[in-house]
Structures are given as structure tokens and as C-alpha cells.
Amino acid sequence: MVHEGALLESRTLRASVAERTEVLDKVRVLSLLPDGLHVTTRMVADYFDVAERTVNRLMQRHRDELTDNGMRTLRGPELELFKRDTLSLFPGSYPQPRSNLTLFTRRAVLNVAMLLRDSEIARRIRTYLLDAEQAHRAASTALPGPSHVDDSVVHDLIAWLDRRIAQTVAEQTLPGPAVDETRVRQLAEEAVRGVLGRTIVPLLNQAIGSQRELRLQLAENEAEMVQLRRVLREHEAAGSMAALDAMNGREFKRHIAWLCRRDGCEQVTVTGGHADAGADVLGHTADGRRLVVRCRARTPSSNITCADVRGFIGMARVEYEADVALLVATAPFTRDALLMAARHEVTAVHRGLLEAWNNGAKLRVLE
């Protein structure tokens, strides 16, 4: 059995188990930021019960390896956008002010566990990781099937190779007592190369190709699972109309921006103030159409009227030349307001439609 300390010394060994991120939650549940993908340096330190400076020193020594496994540092506009759309929903994770922010994926956190010496949690993860890997390999070896090569197959292959060499030598040497040993050796080598080239090498190439396809499939499955976990976590955080009703205006705008991103929109930003002429969210749909959204967090007993729709139509069409205009509200629309929105190709996301959208349904206009 491989000792857990081997992971501390061998980058190759660490790379061989870098995909086993499920081990993290087996030892201790890893809390993520609201995006469902990342944790901060402080969160990593808390997870491993070490000081934040310990993680910082580890980052300095192994930055390249950690970067390869998903660690990244945000600065400038990218940091401001992340602070506004993600960290503002999780204020305890981000001490202010900061000019940069380092984020870790689950894979990067597992990488830290394989590098961190002074942590009992990290040691338990390494032990669990190697135990699970050994059990998996033992089970794979014990299973019958094409991947299990019996010793008799190897012996038969060697015997066949011997016969093939002898046949080749006999066919290409002249009969007689004098045998050129150099010529025999040359013929034997040519026979071996021929056999390897026609049989062994194609089999190895096929095996390598199959392994590559399997790794790609596993990576796709992991990405899909991460996305599902993120959606579920957001759904738990704001999965009911009661949760939306409890949001203030700013929180409601950020949540609508997240729903747009979830449905494939890009370059989505939350605006606000007089300079934006009343737009709350701007962005582009997946196929490149310009998206303009106005958000109205109102009580369920109130209504969105024609005046609300009329003001949005002018702003969306004149100021922004919007291709897709959404008027999203936690309140119902009056009948006249719905008719006006339809005439001017404004999508009225009323309370009922908003509830369905929030629960996972996609808006057709964004597809």
C-alpha cells in the first residue's frame, strides 16, 4: 500500500488522482461561494484548519501546479464584476478592501490537500484518496473480461513469436552448415519489429485512444455535475417566490442577472442609476442579440400598469435598440399592460412566469 506521504513528494502521483474531487466531501463538506464553483483562500484555510498565511506560502511554492488545477487570481474589472454578482451574496467570504482575489476550484482544493503537510484534514484526505484508489484498482483487476490478461495468453504469444522468428530465419538463410550469426540476429530483430508493428502497436494505440475518450467523457460528466450542484444550490437559496419577495431591489436585480446567465446569456451586467436610463440588467443572448432588462420588485398585491410598460418601451427601444426586452416583476400585470407589452414585442415576465423561470424553466425569448 502506498503511504499518504508519497503524495507530498510526487507530482506525477498527485496528477494521477487529481480528478477524485468527491473525496473532499467524504472527509469534510466543502462550502462553496454562491457561484457553486469556487472558494477563497480564507475558505480553504478554514476547511483545512490552518492559518491563511500557510495557504499563501503553499501558493507561492506551487503556483504553477495549483494554476493547472484551476486556481486563478482576479483583478481589476473582473474582480469588481465577481464582487458585485457573487461575493455580495456571501459577505463573510471577502474582507474589504482588496485589490485582488484568489479563487480555488474543487480540483485546486484537492491539490492543496495533497501538498499541505501540517493539517490533519489534509492527511485524512490523502489517506482516503489512496485507499479508494487502491480499492478501485483491486476491483478492476479482479473483474473478468477482455481487460484481464491470463498468463497463458502471454506464454502463447511468446511461443508464437519464437515460431515466427524461426520461420523467418529459415526462409531467408541458405541451407548448409555455415550460419551467419549476425544475419540470424538481424532477421530475428526484423521479425520482432514486424510483429510489434502489425499487432502490438495497433492494440496499444487503440487502448490509448479509448482511454483518452474515457477521460474526456469523465471531464464532461464532472462539469455537468458541477453545473447541476450550482443550480441546486442557487435553487435552495432562492427557490421560492417567498424568497424573491424578501429580496430588496438590488438583490432582485442580481438574481435576475443570474437567471439570464443560467439560460446562456453572456456579458451580463447589473446596472443602476441615472446614467443607464432605467435599465437594470444588460447583456447579450447566446446568439448575440442585445438584451435589456428592467426589474420591478413589488408586493404581490400591487400591479404593473401601462405606465410602467410605456416607460420601459421607450428606454429599451430608443436608448438601447434592444433586440430582447424583458420587464420582470414580482407583481402581476394588468390586462392592458400585457396587451401593450405584446404589441411592442416586450416580454412581460409577470409573477407566474417569473416563478416558473426561477424554478428552472427557460424563457423562450432567450433561446
Q: Which residues pair with 74 in a beta bridge?
A: 101
Q: Does 61 share its domain with 173?
A: no
Specify the long-range contacts of residues 341-348, CB closer than 8 Å, at least 24 apart. Answer: 341/309, 344/309, 344/313, 344/317, 346/309, 346/312, 346/313, 346/316, 348/304, 348/309
> Structurally, how many domains does the chain consist of?
3
Could you give the angle at the alpha carbon of 348 between the alpha carbons of 244 and 366, nearest 5°?
85
Instruction: Please report, for the domain that includes residue 316, its CATH number.
Output: 3.40.1350.10
pLDDT value of residue 152? 61
The grid cell for 296 is 420591478
CA dihedral over 113, 117, 119, 123, signed as positive or negative = positive
Output the pLDDT for position 1: 47
pTM higher than the cut 0.75: no
Q: Are residues 211 and 246 in the same domain?
A: no
* pLDDT (tens digit per residue) in 71-111: 999 888 888 877 776 766 555 544 455 678 899 999 999 99
Return the higher-pLDDT residue of 225 and 265. 265
List, for residues 118-150, the tens digit of each pLDDT value: 899 999 998 888 887 677 666 555 545 444 445
202: containing domain: 149-234
Q: Is residue 280 located within the same domain as residue 329?
A: yes
CA neighbor of 261 nearest in space, from 282, 241, 239:
282
Among 199, 234, 269, give the residue marking a domain's end. Answer: 234
Per-residue confidence band for 355, with pLDDT thresholds at 50, 70 and 90: confident
**Collapsed DSSP state (helix, strand, coil) of residue 52:** helix
Domain annotation covers residue 1: no
Domain-ending residue, one of 114, 140, 166: 140
Residue 135's nearest CA partner among 124, 123, 145, 143 is 143
Q: Length of the chain, please?
A: 367
Q: Clarify whether residues 23 and 135 are in a common domain.
A: yes
